[in-house]
Amino acid sequence: MQKMILGAYTFDRNPSQFDIPKKVKYSSNVVTYEGDAYFSWGTGIAGTHAILEWEWMTAAAFAEFQSLLEDDSSKVWNTQLGTSYNVEIISLDGTYLEDSLSDAPWRKGVKLDLLIRSAV
């Protein structure tokens, strides 16, 4: 699989696992005196989240994602699965580690939360 792209950044490594975006059903119900009122607005992808996870990544790659998060603007996420999405970066987390056997720090247990606004 080709490497994913978020904004102008091409991933160093694709995530170890991630949620494949899918449509969800938007509905609600209200209890009334005579029973229940049910409302449905159909299905859609807007408002869903995709969580991308890496077991590890370099500190440099993490810094790239952090820069995208701090940019605080909408991005296009190209999944390389045939669909791209307009997304907002909600959060980025990962444990900072330094290893005496390597010459660079890295991150462990990285999670990137993307809010999907629409399909491109």
Full-model pTM: 0.86
The span from the CA of 65 to the CA of 71, in Å, is 10
Tell me the pLDDT of the chain averaged across its residues. Answer: 93
For the segment 10-56, what is each residue's pLDDT rounded down to a tens digit?
999 999 999 899 999 999 999 999 999 999 999 999 999 999 999 99
Position 101 pLDDT exceeds 90: no
Q: Is the CA virtual torsion 58, 60, 63, 65 positive or negative?
A: negative
Q: What pLDDT score does 105 carry? A: 82
Q: Which domains does the chain have, with CATH numbers?
A: 5-119 (2.40.30)
The span from the CA of 87 to the CA of 101, in Å, is 37
Q: What pLDDT score does 98 carry? A: 75
* Tokens representing residue 46 in the block: 């807007």
* Parallel/antiparallel/unpaired status of strands 35-44 and 24-32: antiparallel
